[in-house]
Structure formats: structure tokens, C-alpha cells
Amino acid sequence: MQHWYLAHCRPREEERALLNLDNQHIETFCPFIEVRKIVRGKRVIRNEALFPGYVFLRTDLEVTSCATLRSTRGIRNLVRFGELPCVVPEALILDLMCRTGDQRLSERLSDLPKCGDKVVIKDGPFAGMEAIYQEADGDSRAMLLLTLLQSQTRASFANTDYRRLDE
């Protein structure tokens, strides 16, 4: 399963790391902001990384090994707590994309299920069952249509408890 991770980069090599991770078909995110500076007595506007020395990447560590990521040009290592790499919540990444005006945010939001889309439930007592997305039920929940005992039942699920079925 794909998760967002934080990778520590070599000094001033965020763009190189982004390019090489993109070449490996790994989704990346590194928020840049405009910074006004005085360089050699002149005012200039530069785009600099919001978190210098770090990039976010989304991958499945069962498919892409940590050794592959470590050997990517520009990357030092994944940020870890103990032995396990730190998983960054997707809500944080989406919030950063929103605040920095990233164009991919609208693409990611369009991946959300629409009324009538098939979804599969990931967690809870109904894990593994297919359902039909009906509507949003507040900011963090959704109404799904389940088939239980040969009858259709509407139930409310947390947005993290299901995923859209890719057809």
C-alpha cells in the first residue's frame, strides 16, 4: 500500500532528487515558495524549498526498497523513527498542496469517488466488501450503499475506511 514518506536530501539537491524520483515513476512533492532576497545589493525573487533538505515521496515500500531510494541521486535516506520510516499523513500533504497552490491538488481531488462509483472497504467489520459511493456525509465521512443479506443498505463510513476501485 502506498504511503507518503519524508526523504532527507543532500545539501541543495532537492530538485535533483525530485527529477530522479520522477524518472523512477515515484510521486513526489516539494513545496516551493517565493522568497525576496538581496543578493549583491540587488533585490531578487527566488523560488526556494519550504523545507530545505527534504522532499515528500509516495511509494509502496514493499515494491520500492529503501536501498533503491537511498541510492537515488540527491537522496540521503528516509526520515525514520527507530527502524521504521516515518509515514506522513496524506491529509498533511493535501493541506500543504492547497496552501502552496500546487496544480496537482485539483488532479488528486478529482480522484475522489463520485456518486455511483464502486469502492472497496479497507477497515472494520466490512473489510474487503464492495460498495457503491452515494454522497459525502460531512467532511470526514461518506454514505456507501452495501449489499447485505440480498438487500441494499446505506451506511456511513470514515473517508479513510474505503478506497475507490480502479477499473
Kindly report whether the global pTM for this prediction surpasses the value 0.85.
no
Give 105-127 pLDDT, tens digit per residue: 655 555 667 788 889 998 888 88
Of 131, 127, 22, the closest CA to residue 75 belongs to 22
The ranges assigned to domains in the chain are 3-110, 118-164
pLDDT of residue 110: 58
Residue 21 to residue 15: CA distance in whole angstroms: 10
| DSSP per position, 17-31 | HHHHHHHTT-EEE--
Q: How far is CA 91 from the centre of its chain?
A: 8
Give 34-78 pLDDT, tens digit per residue: 888 888 878 888 888 889 999 999 999 888 888 899 899 999 999
Of residues 90 and 112, more confidence is placed in: 90
For domain 118-164, give the fold.
SH3 type barrels. (2.30.30)
CB-based contact 145:153 (threshold 8 Å): yes
User: The domain 3-110 is classified under which CATH number: 3.40.50.970, 3.10.180.10, 3.40.50.200, 3.30.70.940?
Assistant: 3.30.70.940
At 148, phi and psi to the nearest 5?
-125, 130
